[in-house]
Amino acid sequence: MSVKRSFGRVFGFFFALGRKTGKTRALALLGLFPVVLAVVARIFLRGRSGDMAAVFTEILMVFFLQLYVVILSLFYGTSVVGEEVENRTLSYLTTRPVSKPAIVLGKYAAYSLLMFVMVGLGLGVSFFILNAPRLGDPALYATFLRYLGVLGLGILAYTAFFTFLGALLKKAIIVGLVFGFGWENVIQYFPGSTQRFSVVHYLKSLLPIHRAGPGGGGRGVALLLFRLEPTAPLVAVLALVAIAAVFLALACGLFRTKEYLSED
């Protein structure tokens, strides 16, 4: 079977399975937090659209970008290979006529789509609740799509990196936590080129900066863009795509050559 068709079959298998797991339900519930916050803000900040928009950019986007996407990518990414090894289900996949790279790529794509749906739903509902007074403004939708795109690229890049970690290490989650909430949260604030060694730098470089008007209210995205020396948007997109591609290729190569032995 060609790699493309194998990829499609593996994708279908894990997208169907991923939707049903307890992990997905729990993480999807976490994604409701911004919706709840948006509803609360809507109730208490009624009539103050600038403040409501600021709640989105300064609280909810921080939640999505620096917490939710990282957690999702960490749990799903490390489990692309790691979960199969830990649960001893790897033999069900490697004794089928599908290539090992197709297994990694298919499962990565399935989980990425699942995460995108979870993030997209939470983002969409909370965004439009908080920007409800401006629903007639087309620029609002462009802003929303930009936020969604940034988070989508974040999912792709982080998940690829964590997929590689999961293929490389047994306890990849621990290293992933250190990376996701240690390295990423520290390096991004280093001046000069150093901050370019973090994924979140490129994601933040793509965020819209609002002053007054739709989606931003009266303040910039101050909290998120603190100390940021942004990279040009096109370069940032290319960097994120390259990060995803490189780590996926490394994960595929590693999975193809490494033996994964169960602990018995």
Partner 1 sequence: MTAVIAASHLSKWYGNVLGLNDVSLEIEEGITGLLGPNGAGKSTFMKLVTGQMKPNIGAVTVRGRRTWNSPALFLDIGFCPEHDVFYEDMTGLEFVSGLLRLYGFGPAEVRDRAARALDIVDLTKDKDRLIRGYSRGMRQRIKFAQAVAHDPGIVILDEPMSGLDPLGKRKLIRLIKDFKSEGRTILVSSHVLPEIEALTSRVVLVHQGKILAQGDVPYIRELIEAHPHQISVRSSDPRALAARFVGDRSIPKMTFGEDGRTLVVETYKRDDFFGRLAGVVLEDGIEVEEISSPDDNLQAVFEYLVGK
- The residues that touch partner 1, with contacts defined as CB under 8 A, are 1, 5-6, 9-10, 12-13, 16-17, 20-22, 87-100, 256, 259, 261-262
Task: Name the minimum Å distance from CB 114 to partner 1.
Answer: 13
Task: Name the minimum Å distance from CB 101 to partner 1.
Answer: 10
Locate 145 and state its tokens: 């799509």
Closer residue to partner 1 (CB): 86 or 137: 86
CA dist 158 and 182 (Å) reads 14
Closer residue to partner 1 (CB): 234 or 261: 261
Task: Name the minimum Å distance from CB 15 to partner 1.
Answer: 11
Contact between 72 and 119 (Cβ < 8 Å): yes
CA dist 29 and 230 (Å) reads 33
Closer residue to partner 1 (CB): 39 or 250: 250
Q: What is the DSSP letter of 218?
A: T
Task: Name the minimum Å distance from CB 16 to partner 1.
Answer: 7
Closer residue to partner 1 (CB): 97 or 191: 97
Closer residue to partner 1 (CB): 106 or 216: 106
Closer residue to partner 1 (CB): 85 or 199: 85
N-term to C-term CA, the chain: 33
Task: Name the minimum Å distance from CB 94 to partner 1.
Answer: 6
Which residues, at least 6 apart from 242, have a Cβ–Cβ distance to it below 8 Å? none
Task: Name the minimum Å distance from CB 155 to partner 1.
Answer: 22
Nearest alpha-carbon partner for 199 in 247, 259, 260, 144: 247
Closer residue to partner 1 (CB): 21 or 194: 21
**Long-range contact pairs involving 28-33 (C-beta distance under 8 Å, separation at least 24):** 28/118, 30/68, 30/71, 31/68, 31/118, 31/119, 31/121, 31/122, 32/122, 33/63, 33/122
For 13-156, where are the E strands, in sequence order? Answer: none
Contact between 102 and 190 (Cβ < 8 Å): no
Task: Name the minimum Å distance from CB 113 to partner 1.
Answer: 17
Which residues, at least 6 apart from 34, have a Cβ–Cβ distance to it below 8 Å? 60, 63, 64, 68, 122, 123, 126
